[in-house]
């Protein structure tokens, strides 16, 4: 859930500071309480360090940060690569405050460092001393590009306990998606890894799980013969995750695949009960993300087709052909990116389900032996 804007009471606007003096300037923020409500007690709140790596979209991203710290107070270090500034490195400090319980002003510290390409290698040395000890550190890869092969990312990730990224931003071309899946998979063993696209998939997973529940459709899970996923822009990685989830939960293993650079991608999977054909189709126009999931199964001589669709914001629907099943609806909140990040910051444990899903999605992407 995003922060309530009504409780955002004050902030110290970004103040340009010398890179070497960031820590000292942060200290001054607390020596000079923010004036708009000087009567209120000021509490510096910090549960984590959040290092955000982004590109030219730093200004837009900075607007999301208050909502994150409203839910999960953190010291935020926003690192942006820009080319249109005079100096190699420019730094700003600010505080974001809201009115907490008991009339206290609860404030979080923000540091933004903008670097020209030539100065990128200096960023880790700025980050290291600014991390608050004894607190978890999350690296949010908000740059959007591939996780693989980025030197700054590789230098910063050892400082973190957790990596957050959004695979939907990787695009819809398998050659670009596959190496990132591979890199995320490699990091699974060392860090808590979280994909915002996985969080957005949850309503799909719940609806599919409930619809195919053995109590509701006995025998359906064992009789699935075909799955088909249609997606729009920013939909290939989520589609791979969804297929990976089904395969990993139901014990399917890919035996062959046809994964050309363009749609559709197809696989044959083997389950304990027979073969399953899977396909992922890219629909170039229209809504982003996953549009429909179709699951076909045959049982007792009858072929049933279950169709899951995203109908509107926060509303998913399941319908069936070939069997008697009333239309099912699933509603769920649609958190924005800031809310998803804030929610993930509190998760310090590994998500086994996601790990198994990612492992299978990587196999489907063809980067691992099947």
Partner 1 sequence: MTVANPLAEGLTDTLAAQPCTLVIFGASGDLARRKLLPAVYNLVLDGLLPAHFAVLGFARTHYDDSRFRAEARAGVEAFSRRPVDPARWPEFERMLHYLQGKPDDPASFASLKQRLEEIEREHAIPPNRVFYLSVPPSVIAEAVEHLKAAGLVAPPAPASPFSRIIVEKPIGHDLESARRINDALAQAFDEQQVFRIDHYLGKETVQNILVMRFGNAIFEPLWNQKYVDHVQITVAEEEGVGTRARYYEEAGALRDMVQNHMLQLLCLTAMEPPWSMDADVVRDQRLAVLNCLRPITARDLDCCAVRAQYAGGFVRGAEVSGYREEDGVAPDSKTETYVALKAHIDNWRWAGVPFYLRTGRRLPKRATEIAVQFKDVPPILFNIHSEAPLDANVLVFRIQPDEGMSLRISTKVPGARVRIYPVKMDFRYGSTFGDQSPEAYERLLLDVMAGDATLFMRRDAVEASWRWVTEILRAWENAPATLADYRAGTWGPDAADRLIQADKRSWRTL
Please identify which residue in 24, 314, 336, 348 interacts with partner 1, judged by CB under 8 A.
314
Q: What is the 3-state secondary structure (H, E, C) of the chain?
A: CCCCHHHEEEEEEEEEECHHHHHHHHHHHHHCCCHHHCCCCEEECCCEEEEEEECCCHHHHHCCHHHHHHHCCEEEEEEEECCCCCCCEEEEEEEEEEECHHHCEEEEEEEEEEECHHHHHHHHHHHHHHCCCCCCEEEEECCCCCCCCCHHHHHHHHHCCEEEECHHHHCCCHHHHHHHHHHHHHHCCCCEEEEHHHHHHHHHHHHHHHHCCCCCCCCCHHHEEEEEEEECCCCHHHHHHHHHHHHHHHCCEEEEEECCCCCCEEEEEEECCEEEEEEEEECCCCCCCEEEEEEEEEECCEEEEEEEEEEECCEEEEEEECCCCCCEEEECCCCCHHHHHHHHHCCCCCCHHHHHHHHHHHHHCCCCCC
Task: Identify which of residues 6 and 32 has a Cβ nearer to partner 1 in the complex.
Answer: 6
71 contacts partner 1 (rule: CB under 8 A): yes
Question: Segment near partner 1 (CB under 8 A), from 114-122, 188-196, 278-286, 350-358?
Answer: 350-358
Using rule CB under 8 A, residue 135 touches partner 1? no
Q: Which is nearer to partner 1, 153 or 185 (CB)?
A: 185
- Going by C-alpha positions, the residue among 166, 361, 370 that lies closest to residue 246 is 361
Q: Does 210 bind partner 1 (CB under 8 A)?
A: yes
Total of residues contacting partner 1 (CB under 8 A) = 54
Stretch of residues binding partner 1 (CB under 8 A), selected from 51-59, 205-213, 282-290, 302-310: 205-213
Out of 13, 35, 133, 215, point to the residue binding partner 1 (CB under 8 A). 215
348 lies in the site for partner 1, by CB under 8 A: no
User: Where does this chain touch partner 1 (CB under 8 A) — which range of 26-34, 274-282, 346-354, 361-369?
Assistant: 346-354
Q: Report the nearest approach of partner 1 to the CB of residue 45 (Å).
A: 5
Of the candidate residues 212, 229, 242, 304, the single one contacting partner 1 (CB under 8 A): 212
Among 116, 176, 249, 299, binds partner 1 (CB under 8 A): 249
Per CB under 8 A, the segment of 66-74, 109-117, 129-137, 187-195 that binds partner 1 is 66-74
Of positions 3, 76, 77, 157, contacts partner 1 by CB under 8 A: 3
List of residues 6+ apart from 4 with CB closer than 8 A = 70
* Binds partner 1 by CB under 8 A, chosen from 100, 232, 238, 244: 100
Does the footprint of partner 1 cover residue 303 (CB under 8 A)?
A: no
| Span interacting with partner 1, options 189-197, 203-211, 258-266, 300-308, rule CB under 8 A | 203-211
207 binds partner 1 (CB under 8 A): yes
Residue with the two structure tokens 């199964």: 297
Residue with Cβ nearer partner 1 (182 or 347): 347
Strand order of the sheet with strand 253-258? 253-258, 265-271, 274-282, 224-231, 290-299, 302-312, 315-321, 328-331
Q: Should residue 121 be labelled a site residue for partner 1 when binding is judged by CB under 8 A?
A: no
Identify the residue among 19, 45, 78, 119 touching partner 1 (CB under 8 A).
Answer: 45
* 28 contacts partner 1 (rule: CB under 8 A): no
**Cβ pair 68, 345 in contact under 8 A:** yes
Q: Which one among 85, 154, 329, 370 touches partner 1, defined by CB under 8 A?
A: 329
Residues at the contact surface with partner 1, assessed by CB under 8 A: 1, 3, 43, 45, 47, 69-73, 98, 100-102, 104, 106, 202-203, 205-216, 218, 221, 246, 249-251, 313-315, 318, 325-326, 328-333, 342, 346-347, 351-353
């Amino acid at each position: 859930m995003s922060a309530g804007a009504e409780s955002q009471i004050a902030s110290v606007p970004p103040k340009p500071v010398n890179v070497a003096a960031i820590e000292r300037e942060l200290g001054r923020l607390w020596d000079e309480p923010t004036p708009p409500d000087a009567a209120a007690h000021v509490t510096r709140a910090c549960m984590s360090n959040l290092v955000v790596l982004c590109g030219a979209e730093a200004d837009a991203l900075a607007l999301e940060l208050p909502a994150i710290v409203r839910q999960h107070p953190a010291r935020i270090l926003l690192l942006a690569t820009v080319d249109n500034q005079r100096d190699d490195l420019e730094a700003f400090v600010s505080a974001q405050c809201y009115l907490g319980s008991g009339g206290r002003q609860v404030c979080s510290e923000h540091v933004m460092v903008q670097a020209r390409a030539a100065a990128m290698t200096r960023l880790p040395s700025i980050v290291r001393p600014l991390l608050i000890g004894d607190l978890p550190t999350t690296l949010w890869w908000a740059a959007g590009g591939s996780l693989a092969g980025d030197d700054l990312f590789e230098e910063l990730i050892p400082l973190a306990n957790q990596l957050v990224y959004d695979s939907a931003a990787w695009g819809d071309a398998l050659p670009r998606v596959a190496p990132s899946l591979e890199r995320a998979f490699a990091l699974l063993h060392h860090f808590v890894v979280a994909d915002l696209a996985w969080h957005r998939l949850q309503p799909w997973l719940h609806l599919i799980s409930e619809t195919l529940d053995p109590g509701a459709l006995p025998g359906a899970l064992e009789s699935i013969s075909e799955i088909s996923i249609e997606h729009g822009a920013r939909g290939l990685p989520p589609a791979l995750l969804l297929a990976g989830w089904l395969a990993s939960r139901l014990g399917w293993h890919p035996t062959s695949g046809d994964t050309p650079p363009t749609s559709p991608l197809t696989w044959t999977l083997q389950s304990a009960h027979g073969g399953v054909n899977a396909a992922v189709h890219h629909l170039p126009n229209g809504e982003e993300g996953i549009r429909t999931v179709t699951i076909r199964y045959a049982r007792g001589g009858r072929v049933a087709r279950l169709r899951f669709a995203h109908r509107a914001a926060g509303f998913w629907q399941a319908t069936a052909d070939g069997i008697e099943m009333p239309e099912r609806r699933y509603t769920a909140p649609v958190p924005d990116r800031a809310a998803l990040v804030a929610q993930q910051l509190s998760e310090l444990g590994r998500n086994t389900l996601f790990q198994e899903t990612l492992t299978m999605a990587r196999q489907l992407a063809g980067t691992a032996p099947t």
